[in-house]
Amino acid sequence: MTKALPRRTGYRITVEFSGRHVRVVRNGQVLAESDGALLLREPGCPDSYYIPFQDVRLDLLTPSETRTQCPFKGEASYWSLPDAPDLVWTYADPKPEVAAIKDHLCFYEVEVS
């Protein structure tokens, strides 16, 4: 199923190197850990950390059939844990304005230090 988000004029998303250590832990298990995460800032949303694929335990995640459509970033596909559906998402072919997030995954809950 694909869900579309409404497009707003004057909407600005920024993507930058975070420079911070980002860690994702669920039920005591480290799912991702990175010093190379990107920080995405989007109006009306909490800051999001996009972690390079190589810093994520992909062996623990299963691709989901869920897809969402963002008018600013493109189509997102999701990954799940057995007890946490659609826990993480990625944009395989992001819009040019946010091209830097390609080959990165974003989790709902992260620790930042």
pLDDT along the chain (113 residues), means of 10: 49 93 94 97 93 97 97 96 95 96 93 75
* pLDDT for res 77: 98
Identity at 113, one-letter amino acid code: S
Which residue's structure tokens are 């989007």? Answer: 42
Number of residues that make up the chain: 113
Structure tokens belonging to residue 6: 């409404």
57 within domain boundaries: yes
91 within domain boundaries: yes
37 within domain boundaries: yes
Number of domains in the chain: 1
* pLDDT for res 8: 54
For residue 36, the enclosing domain spans: 13-112
Half-sphere exposure of 48 (CA within 13 A, CB side): 21
User: Angle at the Cα of 77 (from 64 to 79), degrees rounded to 5?
Assistant: 40
pTM score: 0.88
* pLDDT for res 67: 98
